[in-house]
Structure 1
């Protein structure tokens, strides 16, 4: 069965909606749409308690069980509700991907005195001053009282912070006795530091703790794989080690978030991490975003140019948007509404890569149709990338599947669908075009797409040979 991932959350979810319960309620829908994997948000307690998205990680062992940070539950529900959501999906044959955030920690319980160098945040080779600071690096999790783990985090386990409590000043402070990883993304000269208290992946205690936590997590929440957060900020040697240990007893599907529009950076990380995971095709996301901004000025023939799905499709997870690209978020680059149906057709109905549908698109009727039509694909595809404003592709398959896209005016295009469809009638399953298309004796039809739209044609009446 072809993989199809759904990211089942977005940034601005209301905590009162209780996502874990909604997952259980919506499992039948996800099954009907052909979803094979569901990516769930971070399930552990964050700095803001029940108001935290999970990316402001406080306690990795608190899945909504302990009264910490002002609540027992997380934004998405309680530990029991999380485990019920996993069980519901897996009982329907749907795999679960847990969101793993290991780069940083926030919401420390106490400060520690540290000698630090304050760096220029944009040019990280420049030290501005050396200063004594009080850093939020002490985590003792007293409310959990050593349940599941007695590991306590302190300044030994971090490299840097972004706030000095002593002088009440924000800045980038690297501890004098620590070094940032060299095996890291080179943006800003060294992009080890991202936020909060930056975890030191050169510390043996940290490595051992994360290995122990990973094994514990799989025992408690038997997920089928992971989405790995912010991997460009984590020493490139870490995840091959971590995943090798966790895969000794279980097969795991893993996709990493390496946020770069440069496909060369993505391919370099695949090599550096020994091809231990897939990567989100961020380069394709930005092509889709640019296409939505430029409309007819974007050459659709280049939509897959310089992307991971073109260069290494077996390692690409394609997506239109995610929680970070939403309006108001750190990587804001939301594909414009008029292009969203087109963009989803491009990731769902192509053979390359594994598509990941975003929560905000999941409940759109036509995008649900695209998800269902995905099952009609075959290996044999004919591309018609011959016009800067109108591209198409068709499959030689039993029920037929022909996709036509325009970012300009309405267009017609002749496309081959197979001689076995001669004299049969194709219709636009999305309802964007009303015209019926009769296939000629050579297996060719003349298909229409409306202005700035997408049409997906297959046999009228769902015929099958």
Structure 2
């Protein structure tokens, strides 16, 4: 059993050990915010609006991406957090399962939230639940409303033979089948596989998404996962899988071999070590952090985390959580911050400091500088270099002397504020003190800076078809396509693509954009001879909601209500 020690100075005797299997990362690898938790609600507003309102604050703190919860309608409508998915084409826009909105809000609010995050330079990753479906009436039949509210008219209906065991035996490339989550989708069915990919492509285009978190990837074929992530608008985008396993070699196999490197993996193996470190009350052997987790053998595949919506509920870290964040935000891997830790549990100031260190200083490969039962110290060798050390002894500080790559006579500053400045000796060694139950992060003094913002426009697609959630170009009425929340002074461009089958010379589609007061701001009429993708453009003078409306005229009976795709490009306000 580990024992407590009095404060004492040590000098490193062994040569530094280079973590040779660790891969170098760029100077700023990014920091991901998990933007939700179980049963999250936002008083007086939707969760989507809540996230959008925090986008500017998150970017200013140094976050680079936000992971949002599942977006499609769940089996309990507004009560579902999305892990019981029902309709692949309902983002909170159909009146079914007891509500129009999902638990998180409406499609309109979701699109605005994504647009505001992109306006603040943040990438958005959506949680994808492809293992199962929920909400049938006990007969394995899934049918959905169409754009006019007609039951059974929605796209991608499903029956008994679209699930296991109805279709056939489970695919051999499934690591761990578990049908307890819901009706187990048959990804080896061409119908199911094709429609899941099409739905993912549609959702990606509707929102303008930059990546995906894949839920329970043990439950379905990794060959399908590769096909899915390489399809349509999803191709080339970031992905990370929830492969819930504490064996780092298994995680590495899934990411590197099973998916061919197409998806990263959440580092459950490292999280297990961090939980043991924090919860052990000072009796954890800190040398175990050497090459710990997937990040220790393949950091380019590792998405590291301290807590998530499941662990917070089922196996939370109950002590000294700051030590765990200190580790993932100074080490290699792609670190994730949990919303509740940041906003609900009072850790924002601590985490903001560590994010700044991660983004401004921590880069490059890792060299181990010290390890024993109380202290683990390591140096990131890129850029200005970062010498980090963690002491889990709850009663005693530790002073150690370690080799560094800074050179001789260099003044080092602890950017956590936990310890004083030091100067390297003639051999380039540094003598540093790590307070009890704390951490330090040293680099050259004088490093400063804040986080700038690159403002991105979004391109969000409204697809109109009777079997979707938006009506086609109706020949009997002017119908609403959708609304966008646009910043004044930034142009709105709307490119229209449409089905011209059986059109005559007089057939046309009328597109209208209304301003924030409801007045007509711009219009365009499209004929059979108009080039596909011809755009309506308008530059708003007021920040707010702008509404697209559409109608068809003189359409043939064979194509009375043409399908269309309206690709809107605009910039949302940052706040």
TM-score range, shorter chain: 0.7 to 0.9
Look up the match of 2:506.
none
Distance in 2, Cα, partners of 1:400 & 1:150: 54
Look up the match of 2:564.
none
Pair 1:142-2:145 in alignment: yes
Distance in 2, Cα, partners of 1:413 & 1:71: 61
Answer whether contact 2:143 2:154 (CA < 8 A) is retained. no
Pair 1:156-2:161 in alignment: yes
Look up the match of 1:424.
411
Distance in 1, Cα, partners of 2:448 & 2:121: 28
Distance in 2, Cα, partners of 1:228 & 1:419: 41
Provide the secondary structure at the position in 1 that maps to 2:222.
coil
Pair 1:180-2:194 in alignment: no
Answer whether contact 1:411 1:448 (CA < 8 A) is retained. yes
Structure 2 portions without partners, runs of 5+: 1-27, 450-575
> 1:154–1:459: structure 2 CA closer, same or farther, 3 Å change rule?
same
1:355 to 328, 335, 338: 335
Answer whether contact 1:394 1:416 (CA < 8 A) is retained. no
- How many angstroms does 1:461 deviate by? 5.6
- The two structures have a TM-score, normalised by structure 2, of 0.66
Deviations 1:136-170 (A, max 9, x none): x22212375479953211111112xxxxxxxxxxx
Q: Which has the higher contact order (CA 8 A, sep 6+)?
A: 2
Look up the match of 1:95.
123
1:311 to 286, 297, 309: 297
Look up the match of 2:353.
369
Look up the match of 1:201.
187
1:264 to 228, 240, 249: 249
Answer whether contact 1:6 1:39 (CA < 8 A) is retained. yes
Structure 1 portions without partners, runs of 5+: 113-136, 160-173
Provide the secondary structure at the position in 2 that maps to 1:296.
coil
Distance in 1, Cα, partners of 2:382 & 2:169: 57
Higher helix share goes to which structure? 1
1:24 to 49, 52, 57: 52
Provide the secondary structure at the position in 1 that maps to 2:282.
helix
> 1:148–1:24: structure 2 CA closer, same or farther, 3 Å change rule?
farther
- How many angstroms does 1:23 deviate by? 1.8
Look up the match of 1:106.
134
Larger radius of gyration: 2
- How many angstroms does 1:323 deviate by? 0.6
Provide the secondary structure at the position in 1 that maps to 2:157.
coil
- How many angstroms does 1:222 deviate by? 1.2
Distance in 2, Cα, partners of 1:421 & 1:377: 21
Provide the secondary structure at the position in 2 that maps to 1:69.
coil
> 1:62–1:419: structure 2 CA closer, same or farther, 3 Å change rule?
closer
> 1:77–1:396: structure 2 CA closer, same or farther, 3 Å change rule?
same
Distance in 1, Cα, partners of 2:335 & 2:153: 36
1:59 to 71, 74, 87: 87
- The two structures have a TM-score, normalised by structure 1, of 0.81
- How many angstroms does 1:44 deviate by? 1.5
Distance in 2, Cα, partners of 1:219 & 1:380: 36
Provide the secondary structure at the position in 2 that maps to 1:66.
coil
Q: Spell out the pairing of 1:28-427 with structure 2 (5 A cutoff).
A: 28-108=56-136, 110-112=137-139, 137-142=140-145, 145=149, 149-159=154-164, 174-175=165-166, 178-186=168-176, 191-246=177-232, 250-270=235-255, 271-305=257-291, 307-327=293-313, 332-338=314-320, 340-350=321-331, 352-363=332-343, 364=347, 365-374=349-358, 375-379=360-364, 381-395=366-380, 401-408=386-393, 409-418=396-405, 422=409, 424=411, 426-427=413-414
State how many pairs are aligned.
Answer: 411
Moved more, 221-230 or 414-423: 414-423
Distance in 1, Cα, partners of 2:281 & 2:153: 53
> 1:392–1:182: structure 2 CA closer, same or farther, 3 Å change rule?
same
Q: For the aligned residues, what is the CA RMSD?
A: 2.6
Pair 1:5-2:8 in alignment: no
Distance in 1, Cα, partners of 2:298 & 2:171: 27
Distance in 2, Cα, partners of 1:80 & 1:447: 53
> 1:438–1:59: structure 2 CA closer, same or farther, 3 Å change rule?
same
Distance in 2, Cα, partners of 1:59 & 1:203: 18
Provide the secondary structure at the position in 2 that maps to 1:89.
helix
Look up the match of 2:432.
447
Answer whether contact 1:406 1:450 (CA < 8 A) is retained. yes
Provide the secondary structure at the position in 1 that maps to 2:371.
coil
Answer whether contact 2:72 2:88 (CA < 8 A) is retained. yes
- How many angstroms does 1:264 deviate by? 2.6
Answer whether contact 1:64 1:72 (CA < 8 A) is retained. yes
Look up the match of 1:118.
none
Deviations 1:23-70 (A, max 9, x none): 222112221222222111111111222221111111121111122222
Answer whether contact 2:248 2:293 (CA < 8 A) is retained. yes
Answer whether contact 1:50 1:74 (CA < 8 A) is retained. yes
